Structure formats: structure tokens, C-alpha cells
């Protein structure tokens, strides 16, 4: 039992005021906690990006006003953002590794501008080509979610 | 002459000294040594706090494999427990069981993946049987897709099609959760 062990009487016969706490049970408890937490620790935090596929059931939307049919195409040339009556191309840029990569920063800026003009817009259809890597697809969906376009649908381009 | 134990003996002056006489003291030493436990307890407390801050009640949702390097995501939500489809460069697995090889999905032109669809239908049937009398947990068609970052969309497309065909319409793409403002990987020249 943990407790404070009283110090023995001093030479003068007075009882010492200092008490020594028995730390051993406390150390036992901490050791058990550390063992349990180490065993159950999750070192990699995994995130989930929820998407709907083109053939799946449509997500119920509360507001349909002031929204447009927004599509984001991922081609070998880069991004192509299309909506009725307008299309914006965002070509690939040279990455630090030397290869061509999707210009994610420009896409984020374009989506931010679009969201500012259409605040009720929450749906977007991402259409990648077959050769587009999973990394680029996930990054694109991530950018869409970051710009508050929460209903992301993934559909094949061809 | 008295018989004495061999060894160093202090002179009379040193023997009287309060400081130096202890060096030559021949009394029996106590077997107990006091340990300084305070720093140990401090260290343990810091470790417990650190581990508690990293603690996740959900546990491991995905089977992490060295063949699968997940992409990063900055705006992802927490993954829920659901059947997991893992796509590495070699194989496509469903809840740890290999259902087909990735090469087969890359080569074929048709969309359907019968092996995966069968496994998903079995999983759906199993879930609906278990929760038949549990209206609070209806079948939501939730599935987690975990793929290597280099896997082409052609493979993902076929997997998504198989999920749709089997009634799994809520697809979660797994990614490594990152903190921060957003991706800044591409450097403009």
C-alpha cells in the first residue's frame, strides 16, 4: 500500500516533519500503463476520403439551387475544369524530380475562386484517365474536399 | 605486538580526522542503497502522457503492408471499420485474402472483376445475416480501398465497378493523414 513513511526520530528526539512517499506502487502503475499504451499504439494515422462512384446511389443534397455540373478531368496534359459554358485548363508543371506533375496549387486556387462565386456548390465529378496514378487521384480529391466541395464523385473519363 | 589485518592503515592524525578517517573505516557497510526514483517517475510520466496523446480508441483499421505506400491527404476524415480492399503492385486482396492479381486488372478491357464481386457479395450477405434483427445497424455499403500510390486508375476503376455491382457504394480511399495547410510538393520552375 502506497503511503508516506514517517522519518525516524531525530537526535533531539523531535519527530521529523519530512515524509517519504513510497514510489514503488506508482512506478508499477506507470509501467503497466506504458506497456498497455505501447501495445495498443497506432503509429500511422490513416485518413479516409469518401467518394461516390458514378454508378452508385446519389448522395442526398439539401440545396440544388445555384449549383452547376462541375467536372474535373485528369488527363495526361493536366487538369481540365469544366462547367456548362466554360472550361479552364491547368497544364502540368515540372516537378522537383524533373517529371511532369499535376499543378495542385493552381487547381486549389481555381477551386477557391469558383467556390467564392458559387458558395452553394458542393458537388464535383472527378474524371481521371486510365493512366492517372492513385496518388494523383487522392491528391485531387483531397484538394476538392479542402475547398469545401464535399460531394466528390469519381467517374472514368473513357 | 598486536596482530593486525594487512592493508593500508591511517596514521594517528588521519584516524582522528572527520573527513579522511571515513576512507579507512572498516565497519560493515549497509547492504541497502537508496535509489533516486524521482527522475525515473518523471520520465515514466512523460512517456505515459506522450502515449496517451497518441492513443486511438479505434485501433488499426487497415492492414499496413510494406508493398503499399499510401499517398498523403490533408483533409481526410477518420476511417471507419469496414471491409478493406488492398491493391499492391502484385495482388488485390480483400480483407487479407488474395482475390486476383493486379496484372490481370491492368491487362483486361472489361470492367467487371468476378472474384472480387463474389467476395464482396459474400461479405454483404454475412453482414446482413448478422444484423438481420438489428435495425440500428443497416447495411451502408461502406468499403475501404487501400492502394499503392503508383497504381493506375484503370485498376481502381475496375475495383470501384466491382464495389458498385455488389452494393458497396460508399467508397473510402485510404491515405496517410497529414497535418498542415495543403500540398506544396510541385515546385514551379
ipTM of the complex: 0.72
pLDDT value at residue B49 = 93
DSSP B189: -
Q: Strand B170-177 relative to strand B72-73: parallel, antiparallel, unpaired?
A: parallel
pLDDT value at residue B29 = 64
In the stretch 28-87 of chain A, residues with CB closer than 8 A to chain B read 30-31, 33-34, 37-38, 40-53, 55-57, 74
- Burial annotation A8-23 (CB, 10 A radius, 16+ → b, else e): eeeeeeeeeeeeeeee
Instruction: Judge whether B179 and B111 are in contact, CB under 8 Å.
Output: no
pLDDT at B36 over 60: yes
Which of A32, A51, A50, A52 has its CA nearest to residue A40?
A32
CA B78 to chain centre: 14
Percent of chain B topping pLDDT 90: 20
Hey, is the C-beta of A18 within 8 angstroms of any chain B C-beta? Answer: no
Tell me the pTM: 0.72
**Within 13 Å of residue B149, how many CA atoms lie on the same side as its CB?**
12
Contact A27 B71 (CB under 8 A): no
Which residues of chain B are within 8 Å of residue A48 when distances are taken between CB atoms? 76-80, 144, 172-175
From CA B100, how far away is CA A80, in angstroms rounded? Answer: 33
Q: What is the mean pLDDT of chain B?
A: 82
Of the candidates A44, A94, A132, which has its C-beta nearest B152's C-beta? A132
pLDDT at B189 over 90: no
Question: Could you tell me which residues come within 8 angstroms of residue B147 by beta carbon, excluding any fewer than 6 positions away?
Answer: A134, B68, B70, B86, B87, B88, B155, B156, B173, B174
Which of A113, A132, A142 has its CA nearest to residue B183?
A142
pLDDT value at residue A50 = 83
In the stretch 89-128 of chain B, residues with CB closer than 8 A to chain A read none
From B156's Cα to the closest Cα of chain A, the distance in A is 8
Lowest mean pLDDT among A64-68, B53-57, B159-163: A64-68
pLDDT tens per residue across all 158 residues of chain A: 444 555 555 556 677 777 778 888 999 999 999 999 998 887 777 888 888 876 544 455 444 555 788 899 998 889 998 888 888 888 888 877 778 888 888 999 989 998 888 888 888 999 999 889 999 999 999 999 988 888 888 888 76
Which residues of chain B are within 8 Å of residue A46 when distances are taken between CB atoms? 61-62, 70, 79, 174-177
CA B177 to chain centre: 12
- What pLDDT, in 10s, does the model give residues B125-156? 999 899 888 888 888 888 999 999 999 999 99
Q: Please classify residue B185 by burial: count the beta carbons closer than 10 Å to its beta carbon, then call 0-12 exposed, 13-18 middle and 19+ buried.
A: middle
The residue ranking higher by pLDDT, B24 or B122, is: B122
Task: Report CA-CA distances (Å) from B82 to B29, B58, B149.
Answer: 65, 12, 21
Type and span of the H or E element at A106: helix A104-117
pLDDT value at residue A63 = 47
- What pLDDT, in 10s, does the model give residues B56-115? 776 677 777 788 899 988 988 888 888 899 999 889 999 888 988 888 888 877 888 888
Contact A146 B74 (CB under 8 A): yes
Contact B163 A53 (CB under 8 A): yes
Which sign does the torsion angle of CA A26, A29, A31, A33 carry? Answer: negative
Lowest mean pLDDT among A131-135, B1-5, B181-185: B181-185
Contact A108 B182 (CB under 8 A): yes
Task: Identify the bridge partners of residue A46 per DSSP, sorted by sequence position.
Answer: B176
Interface test with B, best of A39, A47, A78 (most B CBs within 10 A): A47
Instruction: Judge whether B171 and B162 are in contact, CB under 8 Å.
Output: no
Rg (CA), chain A: 30
DSSP A133: B
Q: Which residue of A has its CA nearest to B164?
A: A56
Return the number of CB contacts < 8 Å for A and B.
190
From CA A79, how far away is CA A137, in angstroms rounded? Answer: 11
B50: left (phi over 0), alpha (psi -120 to 50) or beta: alpha
Amino acid at each position: 500500500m502506497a503511503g508516506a513513511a514517517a522519518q525516524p526520530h531525530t537526535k533531539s528526539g523531535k519527530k521529523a516533519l519530512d515524509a517519504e512517499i513510497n514510489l514503488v506502487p506508482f512506478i508499477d502503475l506507470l509501467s503497466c500503463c506504458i506497456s498497455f499504451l505501447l501495445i495498443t499504439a497506432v503509429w500511422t494515422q490513416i485518413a479516409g476520403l469518401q467518394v461516390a462512384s458514378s454508378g452508385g446511389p446519389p448522395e442526398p443534397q439539401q440545396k440544388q439551387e445555384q449549383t452547376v455540373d462541375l467536372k474535373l478531368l485528369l488527363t495526361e496534359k493536366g487538369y481540365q475544369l469544366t462547367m456548362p459554358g466554360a472550361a479552364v485548363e491547368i497544364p502540368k508543371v515540372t516537378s522537383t524530380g524533373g517529371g511532369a506533375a499535376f499543378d495542385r496549387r493552381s487547381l486549389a486556387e481555381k477551386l477557391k475562386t469558383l467556390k467564392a462565386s458559387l458558395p452553394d456548390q458542393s458537388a464535383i465529378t472527378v474524371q481521371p484517365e486510365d493512366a492517372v496514378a492513385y496518388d494523383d487521384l487522392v491528391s485531387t480529391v483531397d484538394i476538392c474536399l479542402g475547398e469545401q466541395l464535399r460531394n466528390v464523385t469519381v467517374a472514368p473519363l473513357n | 605486538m598486536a596482530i593486525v589485518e594487512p592493508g593500508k592503515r591511517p596514521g594517528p592524525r588521519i584516524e582522528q580526522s572527520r573527513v579522511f578517517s571515513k576512507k579507512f573505516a572498516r565497519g560493515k557497510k549497509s547492504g541497502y542503497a537508496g535509489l533516486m526514483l524521482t527522475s525515473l517517475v518523471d520520465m515514466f510520466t512523460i512517456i505515459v502522457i506522450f502515449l496517451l496523446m497518441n492513443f486511438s480508441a479505434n485501433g488499426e483499421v487497415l492492414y499496413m503492408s510494406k508493398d503499399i505506400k499510401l499517398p498523403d491527404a490533408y483533409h481526410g476524415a477518420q476511417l471507419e471499420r469496414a471491409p478493406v480492399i488492398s491493391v499492391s503492385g502484385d495482388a488485390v486482396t480483400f480483407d487479407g485474402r488474395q482475390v486476383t492479381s493486379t496484372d490481370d486488372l491492368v491487362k483486361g478491357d472489361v470492367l467487371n472483376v468476378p472474384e472480387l464481386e463474389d467476395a464482396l457479395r459474400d461479405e454483404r450477405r454475412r453482414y446482413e445475416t448478422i444484423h438481420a434483427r438489428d435495425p440500428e445497424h443497416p447495411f451502408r455499403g461502406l468499403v475501404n480501398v487501400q492502394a499503392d500510390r503508383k497504381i493506375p486508375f484503370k485498376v481502381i476503376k475496375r475495383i470501384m465497378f466491382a464495389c458498385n455491382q455488389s452494393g458497396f457504394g460508399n467508397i473510402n480511399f485510404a491515405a496517410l493523414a497529414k497535418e498542415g495547410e495543403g500540398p506544396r510538393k510541385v515546385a514551379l520552375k
